[in-house]
Structure 1
Amino acid sequence: MTKLLHIDSSILGGNSVSRQLTAQIVASWTTANPGTEVSYLDLAADTPSHLSAESLGFRMPADAALSDMQKRENAVSEALVSQFLAADVIVVGAPLYNFAIPSQLKAWIDRIAQVGRTFKYTDKGPVGLAGGKTVIVASARGGVYSTSDAMTALEHQESYLKVVFGFFGITDVRFVRAEGLAMGEAAKAAALEAAQIEIVAHTQKSANQEKAALAA
């Protein structure tokens, strides 16, 4: 059974485009891939604390003496990384906040970036340990950043997520993008229409790949 982890990070609740897109991606995926088991994580409602001396316990030696706070924070980190590693598909809602991802999404990434769990270092450099997964990012942007080098240089949202998931060994990272959302109703409508086409393309692609694998 395919396991899908659905993650939202927008603080805008029902007004969030990225939340709208992740819900549509998950619905389309489960329709195209019946039997998918879905779990949900709302990082705006249940935000892990940012890295601190207490939440760095998982990076300490196994025999280190931990404080009660470090033990509690370790339990949070363990739950998040275990949930991530158990998933075959991760759908991430990632709005662009001040040219980057929301801090709560970064806090989640910092918790799952664990040596020996999602990556390791070798004499030839780092090696990702979480390969074989599919990540679909619902990218929402008020402006347009994809059509010129000058604007692309300003965004550290999609570029960062592609790098960090790649660092974990994940090569199948897809983006469903809705940009220009703050540039008028016509631009927003066009962006959402384009995103719908991308959703169908990405979810149908995986369904076709699974059928081909079963027929092989």
Structure 2
Amino acid sequence: MTTILQLNASLSPQGQSDQLANRLVAALLAKQPDAKLTVRDLAAQPLPHLDAAEVGAFFTPAESRSAEQQALVAVSDGLVAELAAADVLVLAVPMYNFGIPSTLKAYFDRVARAGVTFKYTETGPVGLLSGKKAYVLAARGGMYQGTAKDSQTAYLKDFLSFIGIDDVTFVYAEGLNMGDANRAAALAAAEQQIALLTA
């Protein structure tokens, strides 16, 4: 049975990235009605920024962790287990100030764990979560795809590859704040791409 993990990062439940992700997931479920879906709303249930106490807990041997450290690591362990169990990852990613939402970065900081989701080798890091398919629904107010101002695409590809996820497809909806005509055309194009991807 296929397991889908949907990560919504828009601050608004009506955000276009979330809505596009919902459409993609609905199409995937229509093809595989027995698939299991887990939705994690990073705005409704935000994770705090990573701090020294949490990082210290990660690097403390399990048998030496205090009760507080065990609780901190348990949050990360739960997120990692959820991600590891997923066959398909769907990320709803708006662009905020040229980057990804800080809530998504906080999530990434808790699932990038040495020896757990990646390992260091003599030839460099190797991701341990291979064999997954990822979709990124990228909603932007302006036009950034393919330009130097698109910091999201390279970062997301690099991060996902770092933990072993190399099969990544992007669906862009750009120019959403550049007038009604541009918005309608961008959303229509994104929806058409979703239809083709899930045909």
Provide TM-score, normalisation by structure 1.
Answer: 0.88
Structure 1: which 4+ aligned runs deviate by more than 4 Å? none
- Residue 108 of structure 1 deviates from its aligned partner by 0.3
After superposition, the CA RMSD in angstroms is 1.4
- Residue 54 of structure 1 deviates from its aligned partner by 2.1
Report what 2:176 is aligned to. Answer: 181
Report what 2:115 is aligned to. Answer: 116
Q: Deviations over 1:149-190 (max 9, x none)?
A: xxx211211221111001111111011110000000000000
Report what 1:44 is aligned to. Answer: 43
Aligned positions of 1:49-68 closer than 5 A: 49-63=48-62, 65-68=64-67
Unpaired stretches in structure 1, ≥5 consecutive residues: 205-216
**Contact persistence 2:57–2:65 (CA under 8 A):** no
Report what 2:165 is aligned to. Answer: 170
C-alpha distance in structure 1 between counterparts of 2:88 and 2:115, whole Å = 21
Q: Does residue 160 of structure 1 match 2:155?
A: yes
- Residue 49 of structure 1 deviates from its aligned partner by 1.5
Provide TM-score, normalisation by structure 2.
Answer: 0.95
**Equivalent residue letter for 2:110:** R
Report what 1:6 is aligned to. Answer: 6
C-alpha distance in structure 2 between counterparts of 1:167 and 1:145, whole Å = 24
- Residue 134 of structure 1 deviates from its aligned partner by 0.5
Secondary structure of the 2:33 match is coil
Q: How many pairs were matched up?
A: 199
Secondary structure of the 2:74 match is helix
Unpaired stretches in structure 2, ≥5 consecutive residues: none
Q: Deviations over 1:18-76 (max 9, x none)?
A: 11111101001111223111011000111122111222145313256434432222111
**Contact persistence 1:56–1:70 (CA under 8 A):** no
Secondary structure of the 2:6 match is strand
